[in-house]
Chains A and B, each alone.
Chain A
Amino acid sequence: MTAISDQELVEQFRQGREPAFNEIVLRYQERIYWVVRRFLNDHDDADDVVQDVFIKAARNLRGFRGDSSLYTWLYRIAVNLSLNAIRRKRVADFFRLDDIGDIASHDDIGPDGRVEADEQRQLIESAAQQLPPKQRTVFVLRYYEDLSYEEIAEILHTSVGGLKANFFHAIRKVAEHVKRQHGTR
């Protein structure tokens, strides 16, 4: 049995078939979640944004022209909403002094309350959080999500050459941060 294509799902949804949208969610929820999670580094924040990504997608899907692939389009929404969430969080944290510290603490504790042992992963994540938005975006999409430069260029509407430079700078900065942290221990 041939799996139904993204474009067919979009068409079905446009014709009012709700299950088609549910299928789109099932198909992409994990990929979108992990992109958003890598940006926000917190499950609850990521959960909110992922829901918003699909709600926004549903609202705009009727106007989706299919110039890009569906997942590229979803990634673009996810990146934009994640960057917005980061900005909002920074503003809120600036004023809400008593809640500072929550940002980094969520991932340290697993569901069973155990402190995760993966220090290197956390070092990389914390370094990635310090990157400027463009470098951070490229870093997340390339380093974690394994997207090609061409795919990222399509998502961000930018050139492959610029992305390579951004990714290289991002990687160097993260690597330097990790080395520095190792050096101070």
Chain B
Amino acid sequence: MEHVDIDLPGLFRDDLPQEERERIERHLAVCPSCRGAWEDIALLGGPQRRRRPAVPDGYFAALPSKIMEKRLHPVRTNWVRPFFDILRPAIPLAAGALVIIFLVRSAVPPPVTTDRLAVGANEAVDYLGFDLAELSSDLAQVVEPLLSDRALASIGRDLQETGLEDLEPTTVSEVVADLDESETDELISKLSERVIL
């Protein structure tokens, strides 16, 4: 069976020339395959093709002025909003996580900090009880970086490791003064090996 070049959808659209319509109908009469396709397609013909969903009353009358208004006063696109919409479900989870972190952190005792040690960070002379000027150049290279806040926090941890975690507010000089020689050596040794900056 030679299939004609047919525009089956055109049949229900009623926009085919009469000759073309007749040609297709003749073909459908003898071709079960095309007739089957047409029977499917014919479902879509009829009045529902013309039927339109509802539009609010007066919509088209008001549309030109809405467009004019939007043209004259464009609303800046809020590009943040879509991201917020996407992230919105995660907000309660994030809040919960923050609460848990806060609770866990408050349950853990605070580490020995620079505040607790009451170190005068700028007073290099008092630092570890030594005057930098009197230190050998090798040791000075180790001690100089320790003057930063980050380094002082590190010292706090070292003091903890040497069993001095229960210190009352004091200066490092005072702490070191209480150490015996081996403890001082140990402390300096720990500080020397630590990568702190």
Considering only CB atoms and an 8 Å cut-off, how many residues of chain B contact the other chain?
A: 35
CB distance B53 to A37 under 8 Å? yes
Q: A118-B51, A171-B44, A172-B37 are in contact. Are A22 and B8 (CB under 8 A)?
A: no
Q: Which of B39-93 contact A (CB under 8 A)?
A: 40-41, 43-44, 46, 48-49, 51-57, 59-60, 63-64, 66-68, 70-71, 74, 82, 85-86, 88-89
Smallest CB-CB separation from A88: which chain B residue? B82
Interface residues of A (CB under 8 A from B): 22, 25-26, 29-30, 33-34, 37, 41, 43, 47, 50-51, 54-55, 58, 88, 92, 95-97, 107, 110-111, 116, 118, 120-121, 124-125, 142-144, 146, 164, 167-168, 171-172, 174-176, 178-179
Q: Which of B1-48 contact A (CB under 8 A)?
A: 7-9, 13, 15, 37, 40-41, 43-44, 46, 48
Q: Which residues of B contact A50 (CB under 8 A)?
A: 63
CB distance A43 to B44 under 8 Å? no
Interface residues of B (CB under 8 A from A): 7-9, 13, 15, 37, 40-41, 43-44, 46, 48-49, 51-57, 59-60, 63-64, 66-68, 70-71, 74, 82, 85-86, 88-89
Q: Mostly helix, strand, loop or mixed at chain A's interface?
A: helix
30 CB-based A-B contacts, threshold 8 Å: A22-B64, A25-B63, A26-B64, A29-B60, A29-B63, A33-B60, A34-B52, A37-B53, A41-B53, A43-B59, A47-B59, A54-B67, A55-B74, A96-B85, A96-B86, A96-B88, A97-B89, A107-B54, A110-B54, A116-B54, A118-B48, A120-B46, A121-B48, A142-B9, A146-B15, A172-B37, A172-B41, A175-B44, A178-B44, A179-B40
